[in-house]
Amino acid sequence: METIQSNGLWHITLVEKDLVNQAGLNPDAFKQDLGFFRYMGRPVAISHIFNNHLVVSMEGEDDGDLAKLVNGFSKVIEYKPFCKYVLNLEEGSSAPPLPTYEWDKINPKNRFEELKQKENVSSLEHLYKNRLIGFTLSLFHSPN
């Protein structure tokens, strides 16, 4: 679970701490920059609403490093992303396209439809049907 400050913010220092302590990511893989952090040397941007919505974008390819980071976030917030896409920044911008993952606990179906309409979103893909992780229901039948 996210370590949220009393003002409701999940500061990047706390994000990094949660990813290390709860998801087991290597602390040496992180470097903090002003307003964001780097994972495996690549800038990462997040947008977060506690127990509701998370967006994670990481510069570069959608590769094993990004998959490890996404899995780490899923362990911390306790549910999986519902979609992934490439976020294309404004025309004329020197910023590269950003592989992006979104988690939405409240209404992923509507958010997916909303993303389909956005001009700056490409390669939109629906991911998991079962978004909750780490929760299994075991029923034990008593012999009595």
What does the pLDDT look like over 12-71, one tens digit per residue? 889 999 999 999 999 999 998 776 799 999 999 999 998 899 999 999 999 999 999 999
DSSP, res 13? H
Q: Residue 92 has what pLDDT?
A: 67
Q: What's the whole-number average pLDDT of the chain? A: 85
Q: Residue 144 has what pLDDT?
A: 39
Q: Does residue 4 surpass a pLDDT of 70? A: yes
Q: What would the two tokens of residue 14 be?
A: 């706390």
Q: What would the two tokens of residue 37 be?
A: 């952090």
Cβ proximity of 83 and 8 under 8 Å: no
Q: Residue 8 has what pLDDT?
A: 77
d(CA 125, CA 70): 15
Query: What pTM does this model have?
Result: 0.83
